[in-house]
Amino acid sequence: MKKNIRKITLEQLENITKKVVNEYFFVGGTVSDNVVNQYLATALWSTNDNSDESGGEPLDRNYDISDIDAASVKQARNDLTLFFQKAGNILVRYPDKEQVAHDFWLTRNGHGAGFRDGDYEEEYGDGDKLTDIAKKFGTVDLYVGDDGVIYGD
């Protein structure tokens, strides 16, 4: 019995992939609050307050996500949304979006862990591809302002 196979163009395939990625990753055109919160939680525990010569304490010892200014939270959401859009065709293989957000923070800020730590398919070079995309976003430095609010720079 001969099967009827429908051929599609590359453009049609790309449009289908974009639709699947958008439905899979986004709620109302952006990443979920859980994804943003995981990204920000990672930022807090991986950043020190520089309160002494040794670097001080991790920010999450004395602060939480509610201490981060609104503009920095908005920028985090925007960066995550753009990252997921750019890497969506790779990320469909990884259902844990919060882990991806965690690894995005670590990778973009050069913490030595993240997308190249072995959790992503080596066969397809996913860790390297995701690292390349993340690095294009540049680093974000968190600091505590004189007002006690955490800002991203």
Q: What is the pLDDT of residue 111?
A: 92
Please give the helix or strand (H or E) that residue 150 lies within, else none.
strand 150-152
pLDDT in tens, the chain (153 residues): 566 667 777 777 666 666 666 565 665 678 889 999 999 999 999 999 988 999 899 999 999 999 999 999 999 999 999 999 899 888 888 888 999 999 999 999 999 889 988 788 887 899 999 999 999 999 999 999 999 999 999
| Residue partners of 86: CB distance under 8 A and separation at least 6 | 133
Residue located via tokens 């800020």: 109
| Extents of the domains making up the chain | 38-152
pTM exceeds 0.85 for this model = no
Helix (H) or strand (E) holding 130: helix 126-135
Sign of CA dihedral 118, 87, 33, 28: negative
